Chains A and B, each alone.
Chain A
Amino acid sequence: MKRHTLSVLVENRAGVLSRVTGLFSRRGFNIESLAVGTSEEEGTSRITLVVFGDDREVEQVIKQLNKLIDVIKVSDLTDRERVERELALIKVAAEPGGVRAEVMQIATIFRSQIIDVGPKTVTLEVTGDSDKIDALQRLLAVYGIRELYRTGRIAVLRGQKTVMSEK
């Protein structure tokens, strides 16, 4: 069992997201993370999915995804050289004078931006791979996380390869 990162290029048609996600729940798969956005090509979208399962199960899901008429291409990026990113917005309890300076220091170490400051909170924006965001989240939990927003993960192959350039 391991985590798989799947990149799915789809026709941008009504219902395509529920076709894709419906297939996962029907086959008993939990989606750990999901990100959807337009792709470089007009009329298509790219869905990045992170799922947990053994190779054979995931292979079956990929085949089932490929059967969907609106799915143009499915790529398993799991064992490939790739860059993965996730974005998080974290609102932390940090009163001026109190722990605020510490929180700002942590933000700097993690190369995250302070995007909003309130009377009792500061809000950080951070991008990175999941481990980095997990680590930051753990550190900030000590001060009290008021709200946390994490996007799904997206991933891209390194170098000049693209998911469309290969069979």
Chain B
Amino acid sequence: MKTGAKVLIEGLLRQGTKTIFGYPGGVVLPIYDVLYDSPLEHILVRHEQAAAHAADGYARASGRVGVCLATSGPGACNLVTGIATAYMDSIPIVALTGQVPTSLLGNDAFQESDIHGITMPITKHNYLVSRAEDLPQVIAEAFYIASTGRPGPVLIDLPKDVSTGEVPEGIEFPTSVSLRGYQPTVKGHPRQIERAVDLMKRAQRPLLYAGGGVILSGADQELLALAERLGAPVTTTLMGLGAIRGDHPLNLGMLGMHGTAYANYAVTECDLLVAIGARFDDRVTGRIETFAPNAQVIHIDIDPAEIGKNKPVDVPIVGDVRQVLAQILARLPPRGSRTGPWLERVEHWRKTHPLVIRDDDLLHPQYVVRTLSELLDGDGVVVSEVGQNQMWTAQHFCFTKPRSWITSGGLGTMGYGLPASMGACVARPGEQVFLVAGDGSLQMNIQEFGTIAQYRIPVKVVVLNNGFLGMVRQWQELFYEHRYSYTELPQVDFVGIARAYGIDGMVVEERREVRDALRTAIAHEGPFIVDVRVVREENVFPMVPAGAAINEMIGSRQ
């Protein structure tokens, strides 16, 4: 006989899990006892929220399922923000939580919380396991559900008596999973494909609008082929950055609230909008009634519920983005340069409304991002926190590969970046992993310096330190008459904090020091922090004010 805890770890190994992020406690002791001499690597974080974000960062960087583990009650509740973050961005993680024994369920027992109930609206699916012998099936289903269709987090709640319960030594693990209520459509409907091809052939001003779905399904090659065959420019969402090279002539960068002016103008004037693995989020569309007002819309997504949710669609195509694009490419003949005038118009906007940095000697945050982009030159992974730091990185870093950009998009979780970059580092050993952080966000999970130091996880942290909750301050400046209500942060000695944990770093106060400091960080063997004291009241522009149409931007210079 063997215990449920043993079956659990065996199940994880069978799923190909190599590393999990976790934090122990009473009811998971049986699981930790199995981990003690298991080949499964466990990384001890300093807060369970970080375990969930690290699993998420691991998943985004690798394309595999990330796994985190926490004890019942407070441990499980601490995972919630991380699970919700993964849910909003469709990231496959499996969260394991301990639970009080089944005999005490519902009793308000010590460290009991109904994490199954709590996480129902923020998981793709979740389980409260009641018998140890169910574990092989539950684990197989959890990984299958998390990683297929539209990916997402799955939680497994494990009462203590399930972990200690005995099952026969030879208990079988399912090799495949089939669920009646879950059969994602992966191939596009041939008739809709035909209709899409028809519209594409006729379009004069086509635009591809690519989202995180392109990254998740690995459709970057197909996206590029479609763009080139159609002669169509491509704009990406925050989650879609890296789906096409940042320096490709057809790439217009990000659209939406902080998108480029030329991307937003292109949306407004295109006659065919092809949404690919994107969901017409309000941060992208601005006032939805005026979004792509002149366009017919083709919407490709694996999740039928996204199609037509926010914007009426002319051609809905449910399916895996990669397969659908391949189906379209197989039917779409190469065509002449019918889109020449359109591309010229877009190029004109690009020239007249570029993203600019003020040209003076001050230390502008955008300059830091651009310099980092130059130095990394397409290698490695860049992670961000949330706020201005995130938007500047999205705007000014030239991403060249999928899965080279990791950020909390849908939930916008401050404190995501540091733990997520640990996960990315673990998933991609030997590669540069840079976190671009704000001084506010960094302090939301700064305890993870402990984890980074303990395991020598070589994360490089660049703080765009402005002494403000910068993005909120920007809104207060622009829309609340400069009334900076509770958004100023006192100066913190981040390098001092890092040193106390055993991590090296340096402070940068002058523009001319930036390049060398970043070089030092790149060359440094272990983790490193660069605390850059940037211009304090810089704003993210262009900006579409809340509720405006996306071609009504402020701060876009002619």
Contact = CB atoms under 8 A, between A and B. Distances in A.
A132 to B, nearest CB: 35
A63 interface: yes
Given A63-B305, A68-B125, 16 more contacts: A11-B180, A11-B181, A14-B130, A15-B117, A15-B120, A15-B128, A22-B121, A56-B308, A59-B308, A63-B304, A66-B305, A69-B125, A69-B181, A70-B181, A71-B181, A72-B181
Nearest to A72: B181
A69 B145 contact: yes
Interface in A18-72: 18-19, 22, 26, 56, 59-60, 63-64, 66-72
16 contacts: A10-B181, A18-B117, A18-B120, A22-B121, A59-B308, A60-B305, A63-B304, A63-B305, A64-B305, A68-B125, A68-B181, A69-B124, A69-B145, A70-B181, A71-B181, A72-B180
A155 to B, nearest CB: 21
Contact of A22 (B120, B179, B181): B120
Interface residues of A, number: 20
Interface string B302-323: 0111001100000000000000
Given A63-B305, A67-B303, A19 B179 contact: no
Nearest to A64: B305
Contacts of A67: 303, 305
B182 interface: yes
B184 to A, nearest CB: 10
B345 interface: no
A22 B305 CA distance: 17
Contacts of B309: 60
Interface in A63-106: 63-64, 66-72
A68 B181 CA distance: 7
A18 B117 CA distance: 9
Contacts, number: 38
Interface of A: 10-11, 14-15, 18-19, 22, 26, 56, 59-60, 63-64, 66-72
Contacts of A19: 120
Interface residues of B, number: 18
Interface of B: 116-117, 120-121, 124-125, 128, 130, 145, 179-182, 303-305, 308-309
Contacts of B124: 69
A71 B125 CA distance: 11
Give 8 nearest A-B pairs by CB, closest first.
Answer: A63-B305, A69-B125, A72-B181, A69-B182, A71-B181, A72-B180, A63-B304, A69-B181
Contacts of B125: 68-69
Contacts of A72: 180-181
Contacts of A18: 117, 120
A69 B141 CA distance: 10
A106 B130 CA distance: 52
B301 to A, nearest CB: 11
A70 B182 CA distance: 8
User: Which residue of A11, A19, A22, A63 has the most chain B CB atoms within 10 A of its CB atom?
Assistant: A63
A60 B304 CA distance: 9
B303 to A, nearest CB: 7
Contact of B179 (A26, A63, A69): A69
Nearest to A11: B181
Contacts of A10: 181
Nearest to B150: A67
B313 to A, nearest CB: 12
A77 to B, nearest CB: 19
A66 B120 CA distance: 15
A22 B116 CA distance: 13
A128 to B, nearest CB: 33
Given A72-B180, A72-B181, A14 B305 contact: no
A66 B304 contact: yes
A14 B304 CA distance: 26
B312 to A, nearest CB: 9
B263 to A, nearest CB: 28
A70 B124 CA distance: 11
Contact of B121 (A26, A60, A70): A26
B158 to A, nearest CB: 15
Given A60-B309, A63-B305, A69-B145, A15 B181 contact: no
Contacts of A14: 128, 130
A63 B279 CA distance: 15
A57 B548 CA distance: 24
A163 to B, nearest CB: 14
Contacts of B182: 69
Contacts of A66: 304-305
